[in-house]
Chains A and B, each alone.
Chain A
Amino acid sequence: MKTTRREFLAAASALGFGAAAGPAFAQQRTLTYIGWSHDEAASKPVLTEMFNAFSTANPSVRLETIGFPWAQMQQNLILRMRAGQPLDVAQLAERWLPTFAALNNLADLNELFGRAALEEKIDAGLLRIGQSGGKQLGLPWTAASIGMVANRKVLGDAGVNQIPTTVDQFVGALRAIKRSNPEAVPYALATKNNLSMSPDFQVWLWTFGGRLLDNDGAVKVNGEAGVRALSFLVDLMKENLAARDIDRPDARRLFGQHRTGFYADAPLARGFARDNSGQGRAFDQYVAAAPYPVVAAGNNPQSVAWGHLLVMPIIGGRRPTRDGDAARFVQHLAFNDDMQMKYFEAVGLFPVTKTALARVRDDAYVTQWARYASFAEADEPSKWANAADLTTIVGEEVQAALLQQKPPQQAIADMARRLEQRMRDVRRG
């Protein structure tokens, strides 16, 4: 059929009018969310379902979700916030909070929801991971710790029938594993990546009674505890109880293949073991939440606090309101027990609400992990705006000692000197 010029113009006008009028009729408000989990294969289906549930319940809101890989998330988010691009809710790793707090444009959730209302829903201890400078800048979406995971089969094959709780028992168990399987890496300590080596070292440092920094930023690592902690790890390397060139993904694969007895990870460890073993939930029987060993019986097991937060940035002066779309979306993800349980069942991330946590009380893995996580401390460098620099220094000096490029005493002294230089920069502003 031949279209005349008049017909074509009329059709184009109609289309243009329709396009212009469409949004006016729909009157949808856009809510922009940025995160990384909904872009990851394991959590994508369940998060898509959770987002769709929000859209169904809020037809007047057009939910725009933007995903970045975890490694590029921080950089893209900062650039986006600095450029003033639309953003209502963002997912953060708990250790990034001080960096984003320094931008000074995150809404204080205490003002938005009320302190009492938050504590009624979520335990005060868990809320701590979202606090910075006395404000509740992030709402925990999932929270736990980076703790120790033990492989029951590897331990059983080595004749270790109880999960070790003291450092001496731990070393004994590692030696037993090495004897029973010389090709195994008894303890898959992180030895490759600064981002993993820094927290792994800190836990041992705290275990031996040391700290990297005090609350005012004074460097404290150069002491007996620091040297003892690092010497302990170096000795494990020398005895082949830990190995070079290990990062978290390597450790997870070794664990799923029954080639390591222990490694440190977030609670997602069980999910990774299911995937890497190829056995799915049948592998759960081998995965145990273990306490980090302590120097003396009766001490509290150490671990690093870990979690995902939801934050509400204030972009272009647009301050979120209590009954606004962003607040409703955050509550849908973090306060709604059904959503929390759905997320837990799909990928194993622990819920945060008191009521949802009560529903997983029968899962020994969760309850044990939660018990050990109650002593978790915040990653020390994360408190400071130059956290990445501090993490790099800690990781590099630990690695230099583990690879026996320098003795532990010198590595600790160099770490202290370099940390002091960087903390001077912080004070300088």
Chain B
Amino acid sequence: MLPLSARAPQVGGLKRAEARFGIALVALPLAAFTAVILYPFVDALRLSLYRYTLMTPQPVFDGLRNFERLAEDGEIGPIWVNTVVFVVATTAATFVLGLAWAIILNQPFRGRTIIRSASLLPWVLPSTVTAFIWAWILNAQYGVLNAALLVAGLIDEPIAWLATPEGAMSGVVLAKTWLSVPLFSAFFLAGLQALPLEQVEAARIDGATNGQVIRHVVLPHLRTTMVVTLVLGAMGNLQQFDVIYAMTGGGPVRATTVLSLEVRRQAFENWNIGLASAVGVIWFLTIAGPAYIYLRSLFRQG
């Protein structure tokens, strides 16, 4: 019989030690996640079922009344549509322009480094600064765009670009696209730089045109990057707040009010935390779709 101290290590002991070490590593981030994200999220879900305004210091359980009220008011539907229009338009425009710009920046030409660096400028600028710049460009009375068009004789009187539903939505889409193109370009450029030149050369030898090279060689190579960029871009645009708030405040007549702005309005203008939470739930359900696609693609890659 062996002495106790000389007993052979138990099967799985090392794995348990590794597991304990792993748990210790994730404990702190998990605690932070629970405190900063999970708890507020679950609490917001709970509060969406409560009547909780400035007049009700203690939340009162109200079932689905907040959701019923949103349906009765008939305002949440157009706001949801605005959100979808903004997300689809901005993501599509950013995607196309970002890809085109990345392909241009991937070509060898003089001053490429300077152009690449300068391209990052819109991304480096604070988004509210960008929003104010665009608001000034499109301003009806002082805007640079109106001044240029008047000088060119293309219009007879200033146009209030941000005063119509279509103009305001186009304006915020334009500003957000301008802001996001550098980031999309950076993703695509990284993907393009990983493209083996031999494949392009082989296609050229086979007589492929520029368009055919892009369609049959470049785009398939970028497929994973494109999926990730599209999903991340859509999620980012679903969460967009500052550019729209600074440019139009959600107007005119709510034409650019998206779910994020509505949550703020209910919570910090109307002081209706219950209703704001209900809008937040709808917002979460909207964002859950792209998030699911993104996570699934990540896990599949893993």
Contact = CB atoms under 8 A, between A and B. Distances in A.
| A103, A191, A245, A385 interface centre (most CB from chain B within 10 Å) | A245
A382 interface: no
B141 interface: yes
B140 A243 contact: yes
A392 B269 contact: yes
B1 to A, nearest CB: 55
A78 interface: yes
Interface stretch (A201-209, A218-226, A367-375, A398-406): A398-406
A403 B269 contact: no
Given A243-B140, A244-B163, A78 B271 contact: yes
A192 B162 CA distance: 9
Nearest to A75: B268
A78 B54 contact: yes
A399 B141 contact: no
Nearest to A418: B73
Contact of A103 (B54, B163, B249): B54
Contact-size category for B: 20 to 34
Contacts of B142: 253
Interface in A181-219: 185, 191-194
A389 interface: yes
B269 A192 contact: no
Contacts of B164: 403
A403 B270 contact: no
A254 B252 CA distance: 21
Interface string B221-263: 0000000000000000000000000000101111000000000
| B72, B160, B252 interface centre (most CB from chain A within 10 Å) | B252
A103 B56 CA distance: 9
B268 A99 contact: no
A187 to B, nearest CB: 14
A133 interface: no
Contact of B269 (A185, A259, A388, A399): A388
A86 B265 CA distance: 27
Nearest to A251: B141
A388 B265 CA distance: 9
A122 interface: no
Interface in A386-429: 386, 388-389, 392, 396, 399-400, 403, 405, 421, 429
Given A78-B271, A99-B54, A403 B141 contact: no
A246 interface: yes
A416 B254 CA distance: 18
A239 interface: no
Interface string B125-159: 00000000000000111100000000000000000
Contacts of A123: none
Contact of B140 (A245, A400, A421): A245
Given A78-B54, A191-B163, A403-B252, A245 B269 contact: no
Contacts of B53: 385-386
Interface in B57-92: 72-73
B55 interface: yes
Contacts of A400: 253
Contact of B253 (A99, A185, A245, A399): A399
Contacts of A111: none
A396 B252 CA distance: 8
Given A192-B163, A245-B163, A253-B142, A102 B252 contact: no
A49 interface: no
A403 B254 CA distance: 13
A376 B265 CA distance: 29
Contacts of A75: 268
A399 B251 contact: yes
Contacts of A40: none
A345 interface: no
A185 B157 CA distance: 12
Contacts of A103: 54
A400 B268 CA distance: 24
Nearest to B140: A245
A235 interface: no
B245 to A, nearest CB: 10
A396 B161 CA distance: 18
A244 B253 contact: no
B270 A245 contact: no
B160 A244 contact: yes
Interface string B269-290: 1110000000000000000000
A75 B271 CA distance: 9
A157 interface: no
Nearest to A100: B54
Given A244-B163, A254-B141, A396 B254 contact: yes
A250 interface: yes
Contacts of A259: 141
Nearest to B267: A75
B252 A399 contact: yes
B60 to A, nearest CB: 9
B162 A245 contact: yes
B100 to A, nearest CB: 32
A246 B160 CA distance: 9
Given A243-B140, A245-B140, A102 B163 contact: no
A397 to B, nearest CB: 8
A78 B268 CA distance: 10
Given A245-B160, A246-B141, 19 more contacts: A78-B271, A102-B54, A191-B163, A192-B163, A192-B251, A194-B251, A243-B141, A244-B160, A245-B141, A250-B139, A253-B141, A386-B53, A388-B265, A388-B269, A388-B270, A389-B270, A396-B251, A399-B253, A429-B56
13 contacts: A75-B268, A102-B54, A192-B252, A245-B139, A245-B160, A245-B162, A253-B142, A385-B53, A385-B54, A388-B265, A389-B269, A392-B265, A400-B253
- 10 tightest Cβ-Cβ pairs between the two chains A and B: A244-B163, A244-B160, A245-B140, A245-B160, A388-B269, A245-B163, A75-B268, A400-B253, A389-B270, A388-B270
